[in-house]
Amino acid sequence: MHLKQPNTAVETATSTDLPQTSTEPMPLVILGSTSSFRKQLLKKLHLDFVQIAPDIDETPFKGETPKEMVNRLSLKKAQEIANNQPNAIIIASDQTAVFNELPVGKPHSVENAIKQLSDFSGHCITFYTGLVVINTATQKTYQTMDITKVYFRELSENVIRNYIEIEQPLNCAGSFKSEGLGITLFKRIESNDPNALIGLPLIQLTDFFYQMGYPLPSQPVR
């Protein structure tokens, strides 16, 4: 498949900069994930879509960096669904967080959650969010990665315990929910797309739809 990297430069759009709009109707849009968070994010673009869970092995390769893993798994998820969808736009994403050059896992217990947030206090963790779109009608693949840095406040044990008791983030990587009360733990966030931290970079996804000839928002169905 042809890999097409997005242009990340910020340019002033002119009439010659605008891509041509496809004369073909938009194919079926498939979100390659059963995540409720990604579903809600994609709904913001007012697209009709279905969700299909990709059946792949997500075990990291030996010696693979977190960035390499995210790129590989994003592409693998999209390709697995594309194999059975001859006329569709498949959207797939993968995400991992890194602290002190090590992947951040899920705590699964209150004690582990307290330790994770105590370690993050006053420090930064980095989220890598991969995005792949495959248009099987044109056999083109679009791939990119968002890098988001989350800087934590100095967190007291009391604040950490209060947060964990209220939000119960025991099945969340890093022991927090950025889309919820977890935002109170942050000092600042550095990102090109505020949606990426939750799991789907919508700005870059919109860029891909433009490149495919489907500028968003599309004309509403009347």
Cα 23 to its chain centre, rounded Å, is 29
Instruction: Please give the CATH architecture assigned to the domain spanning 2-7+27-212.
Output: Alpha-Beta Complex (3.90)
Structure confidence by residue, pLDDT tens digits, 37-83? 899 999 999 999 999 999 998 888 998 999 999 999 999 999 999 99
94 catalytic, yes or no? yes
Structure confidence by residue, pLDDT tens digits, 99-131? 998 899 889 999 999 999 999 999 999 999 999
- Report the sign of the C-alpha dihedral through residues 111, 112, 113, 115, in that order: positive
**Domain spans of the chain?**
2-7+27-212
Tokens standing for 2?
């042809």
Catalytic annotation, pick one of 17, 55, 57, 94 = 94
Q: What is the DSSP letter of 18?
A: S
| pTM of the predicted structure, to 2 decimals | 0.85
